[in-house]
């Protein structure tokens, strides 16, 4: 038998139930991430890399890398720090279960953060 609760006691909090609209349930594929910020927000752009295009310039040809933005998420800097911690924790659990992830060597760092 449980003790009676005081009149000031708060009811227990249940886990947050997140509902996804049907058009977002599948998610979007992204193999590139770019970050940028303002004084009040940190933004994360998720994009899918497209085939490069060769373009003609006045002094010859150049390869034009391309990507299509699939999602942009803006959040307060404090929440960005919480996201960083959540990703760090999730990757540690992932690697504990499936083994270490190899470091990528095929992507220039300047494509990841602007």
Whole-structure pTM value: 0.69
* Rounded-to-10 torsion of CA 90, 32, 104, 62: -170
Range 62-70 contact pairs with CB under 8 angstroms and sequence separation of 24 or more: 65/111, 67/32, 69/45, 70/28, 70/29, 70/30, 70/46
What integer is the mean pLDDT of 49-59?
A: 88
Structural domain boundaries in the chain: 28-99
pLDDT at 83 over 60: yes
- pLDDT-derived band of residue 48, with 50, 70 and 90 as boundaries? very high
Sign of the torsion formed by the C-alpha atoms of 9, 13, 14 and 18 = positive
pLDDT at 114 over 50: no
pLDDT at 107 over 70: no
């Amino acid at each position: 038998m449980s003790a009676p609760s005081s009149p000031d006691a708060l009811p227990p909090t249940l886990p947050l139930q997140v509902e996804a609209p049907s058009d977002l349930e599948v998610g979007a594929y992204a193999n590139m991430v770019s970050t940028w910020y303002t004084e009040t927000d940190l933004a994360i752009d998720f994009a899918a890399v497209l085939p490069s295009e060769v373009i003609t310039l006045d002094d010859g040809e150049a390869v034009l890398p391309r990507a299509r933005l699939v999602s942009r998420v803006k959040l307060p800097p404090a929440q960005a720090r919480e996201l960083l911690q959540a990703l760090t924790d999730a990757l540690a659990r992932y690697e504990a279960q499936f083994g270490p992830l190899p470091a990528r060597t095929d992507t220039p760092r300047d494509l990841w953060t602007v």
